[in-house]
Amino acid sequence: MPAHRQAYRCALLHSLGDPAVTGLDGSYQYWPDGLLQVEDGHIVAAGDANEALPYLPPGIEVEALPGRLIMPGFVDTHIHLPQLGMIGAFGEQLLDWLNHYTFPCEARFADPAHAQDVARRFIAELLRNGTSTALVFASVHPASVEAFFEEALRLGLRMLCGKVMMDRNAPPELLDGPDHGYAQSRDLIERWHGRGRLHYAVTPRFAPTSSAEQLEAAGRLLREYPSVYLHTHLSENRQEIDWVRQLFPERAGYLDVYAHHGLLGPRSVLAHGVHLDGHECAQLAAAGAAVAFCPTSNLFLGSGLFNLPQAERHQLKVGLGTDVGAGTSFSILQTLNEAYKVMQLQGASLHPFKSLYLATLGGARALSLDDRIGQLRPGHEADFVVLDLAATPLLEYRLRQCRDITETLFVLMTLGDDRVIERTYAHGNRVHQRG
C-alpha cells in the first residue's frame, strides 16, 4: 500500500521538557508559521513552513489552517468512566460523596448495555476536549472495561484502563473478592493489554476498599505482567488518611500500605497526593511512580491544595488528571485554569510553559509513554489537536491583544475549553471535528 501522507500548515507548539529542569526558554518549540507532516499515523517532521516546503516530496496535500494552533493531544492521567452520570454532584466531601453519589452510579454498570452507552459518550467527550490519551478507572464490572476498550480500539486511540478491584467497605453488589478480582483482572489483561494501542492498569480503588489479601493479589498481577500499570488513589482527604491508619495499623502510613504490597513502580500512577510529606514524595520518586494532580476535583471535594513545588523538589513525576466525576470538567485547558489558582492560593504560580508540559509531555512521562506521544517529534504517533484561536468573540478579541506565544498560551488556558478544540487527531486520523 502506498504511504498516506498529509501536511498541515499553521502555528505549531510543543513542550521539550519540564521548565523546572530545562528553564523556560529551553522547555518548548514554537513555529508561528509551521508545517506538520504526518505519514501512516506518525509524525514525519514538524518545523518552519518556509524551510520545509521546498523539500516536501511531490503529491503531498498541504492543508492551510490559518488562525489555528496545533499542539500534541492532551493527556489525562486520572479519570473515571462510570462517573459520567454524576459529575457535579452537590455538597459532600470524599467519603460521603462516594457513598451517596458514586457507588450508586457505578452500580448501574452491571448492565453491559449501559456500560457500552456510557463508554461511547465518555470517549466522545474526551475527544471533544482534545484528550487523546487517558488513564481510566472503569467500574468493578469487567464489561465496563470491555466497552471502553472496544470503542477505543475502533477509533485507534492510545488508552489505558482497568476494572476496579474492591472487596470491602462498599455496597455488596460492587465487591469482587480477592480471588475473583484477581481472576477478572487477569482475564482482561490477557484479552486487551497490548492490543491496538491499549494498555491495562491494575486498579485497586484505594486502600480503604481493598483487604490486605486483595492488595497482595494486585501486587501478584504486577509481578506476573510487568508491563501493565497500577492505578489507584492516595492521600486525597484527611478523613480518608485517618481511616487508612485505622484499617492498616501495622503499616507506617498510607503510602506504606501500597509499598508493602509491591504496588509502587515506574508504571504506577497515584491520583491526588494532596497531603503527601517530603519523605513520601521522595519514596514515590525513588520508585519511579507518578502522581496525578487533579485540581478541579481537589477544589470541588474540598480535599486541599496539591503542593506542586514540593513534587518538583523531589523530581516526582506529575501528570494532570481531570478526575471526572469529582473533577468538574473534561477540559484539560479548564483543569489548568484551576491548577493556576491552586498555585496562587499557595503563594506560588504556574507558568504557561509548565502547564503546557503537564498537559502533554509531563502526562506522557507520567504514563511512561513519552517515547510515543506527548510531542510533535518525528517518529512519534500523530496524536494532536487543532485549536481555533477565534473560537469565541471574547477569545478572538483577547488573543489579539497578546504580544507573544507565552501570553497567548496563558489566555488559552484561562478562557479556553472544549469550544477551542476544533479537531482531534489520533494515529493520524481525525477522530473529532467540532460542529
Q: Which residues bind Zn ion (CB under 5 A)?
A: 271, 323
**What would the DSSP string read from start to end of 9-59?**
EEEEEEE-S-HHHH-SGGGEEEEEEEEEEEETTEEEEEEEHHHHGGGSPTT
Within 281-300, the residues that bind ligand GUN by CB under 6 A are 297
Q: How far apart are CA 307 and CA 237, in angstroms?
A: 14
Q: Which residue is nearest to ligand GUN (CB)?
A: 326
Determine if 15 is a binding residue for ligand GUN (CB under 6 A).
no
Rounded Cα gap, residues 115 and 110, in angstroms: 8
Nearest distance, CB of residue 74 and ligand GUN, angstroms: 19
212-224 vs 178-192: helix crossing angle, rounded to 10: 20
- State the minimum distance, in angstroms, from the CB of residue 297 to Zn ion: 7
- 233 vs 432, beta carbon nearer ligand GUN: 233
Cα separation, 373 vs 356, whole angstroms: 14
CB closer to Zn ion, 300 vs 425: 300
Q: 409 with 398: CB under 8 angstroms? A: no
Q: Binding pattern to ligand GUN, positions 132-171, x when CB under 6 A?
A: ----------------------------------------
102 binds, among ligand GUN, Zn ion, none (CB under 5 to 8 A by kind): ligand GUN
| Contact flag: residue 233 with ligand GUN (CB under 6 A) | yes
- State the first-to-last Cα distance of the chain, in angstroms, to the nearest integer: 33
Residue 75 makes CB contacts below 8 A (sequence gap 6+) with 131, 132, 133, 134, 319, 320, 332, 359, 360, 362, 363, 364, 366, 367, 369, 373, 374
Site for ligand GUN in 298-357 (CB under 6 A): 323, 326
> Helix H segments across 168-253?
178-192, 212-224, 238-247
Name which of 23 and 104 has its Cβ closer to ligand GUN. Answer: 104
Cα separation, 309 vs 171, whole angstroms: 38
Question: Could you tell me if 300 and 95 are in contact, meaning their C-beta atoms sit under 8 angstroms apart?
Answer: no
The one among 15, 77, 102, 329 contacting ligand GUN by CB under 6 A: 102
Residue 247 C-beta: closest distance to ligand GUN, Å? 13
CA–CA dist 398, 135 (Å, integer)? 33
Cis-peptide into 325, omega within 30 deg = yes
The contact mask relative to ligand GUN for 386-415 (x = CB under 6 A, - = no) is ------------------------------
The residue within the footprint of ligand GUN, chosen from 38, 98, 218, 376 (CB under 6 A), is: 98
Q: Which is nearer to ligand GUN, 201 or 431 (CB)?
A: 201
Number of chain positions touching ligand GUN (CB under 6 A): 11
Stretch that binds ligand GUN, among 94-102, 151-159, 194-202, 382-390 (CB under 6 A): 94-102
Residue type at position 138: A
Q: Which residues bind ligand GUN (CB under 6 A)?
A: 80, 94, 98, 102, 205-206, 233, 236, 297, 323, 326
